[in-house]
Amino acid sequence: MSSRQVVKKIFANFENSNDGVIRQGITKSDHELLDPFVSLAEFSVSPPGGFRDHPHRGEIIFSFLLYTYTTQSLLCSIMCLIHQDFNGNKGKVHEGDVLWTTAGRGIIHSEMPKEHTNIGLQLWVNLPSSDKMIDPANVEISNSEMPVAYEEGVEVKVIAGVSMGVQSPFYTRIPMMFLDITLQPRSQTHQTIPESWTAFAYVLDGNEGVFGSSDSYAVQAHTLVVFGTGDEVSVWNTSNYRPLRFLLIAGEPIGESVVQHGPFVMNTQAEIDRTIWDYRNGQNGFEMAKHWRSD
């Protein structure tokens, strides 16, 4: 096995907005390096903030709710994000759940906290040109549905792909893996990844994670770690006391040009211009744009 070495580290800085606090880990400048991944953002939202009615076209969106915080003893049914879209879908994303949205030709949706502070992560994955205009779809994946792999000192929630022989049952249109990994103090893991795939990690919690080789510098939380070529990713938790939690994400590159304009991800500027026209004029997938409003 050839171990992938770290080629870039990106610290996700705070970006305040009216909707909440965002840490942006992948931006437009990283598209070529991280194909097929378009955006990765860690968010913290509380009422009245949140992600109000907004459109998408041309990508897959994974919304992963990491934590919910409250100072009161309340039923978990109100500690969640409420999602709705113009196709009539409506549901709740609780701590540990994933909302998997294929935007395709167009969708308008909202993701709003019901109460208290919700911390999560959103990953956008590009669609190939042949799939840009497919019908939109939603899949809700509850925490209890996700298979978990174990070995000494290592726990892996397999959201997509395979780890330690445990396969996710969920189909991704883009071949990829999405692993939520926790390493106990002084433990390590070595994850096989197809050599041709793009791979990166995002550190959620813990400041003593070492990636790529055991003599590398430790990486702090909220850092995105981009790996070079190879067929294995190695990670060590050098802390004596604190677990390390990170996401390991990898996917097969598409190899097509990417032009992003806000929530629209297409291949050319002309396609972006047409998408904006479609959205403003309520056509070609955005027929409900002028009439639909979330509750």
pLDDT tens column, 212-242: 999 899 999 999 999 999 999 999 999 999 9
Burial tier of 196 (Cβ tally within 10 Å: 0-12, 13-18, 19+): exposed
pLDDT tens column, 5-16: 999 999 998 877
User: Is the per-residue pLDDT at 70 higher than 60?
Assistant: no
User: Is the per-residue pLDDT at 67 higher than 80?
Assistant: no
In total, the chain counts a number of residues equal to 295
The H or E element that residue 278 is part of is helix 269-281
Q: Tokens at residue 251, please?
A: 């996917």
Q: Is residue 111 marked as binding?
A: yes
Q: Is residue 94 marked as binding?
A: no
C-alpha span between 207 and 229 (Å, rounded): 25
Beta bridge partners of 249: 178, 200
Minimum mean pLDDT range among 21-25, 183-187, 224-228: 21-25
Q: Is residue 291 marked as binding?
A: no
Q: Tokens at residue 291, please?
A: 């009439």
Within 10 Å of residue 95's Cβ, how many Cβ atoms? 17
**∠ at Cα 185 (25, 97), nearest 5°?**
50
**pLDDT confidence band for 69 (50 / 70 / 90):** low
| Whether the Cβ atoms of residue 285 and residue 133 lie closer than 8 Å to each other | yes
pLDDT tens column, 239-271: 999 999 999 999 999 999 999 999 999 999 999
Q: Is residue 222 marked as binding?
A: no
Q: What is the pLDDT of residue 78?
A: 45
C-alpha span between 253 and 61 (Å, rounded): 17
Q: What is the pLDDT of residue 71?
A: 44
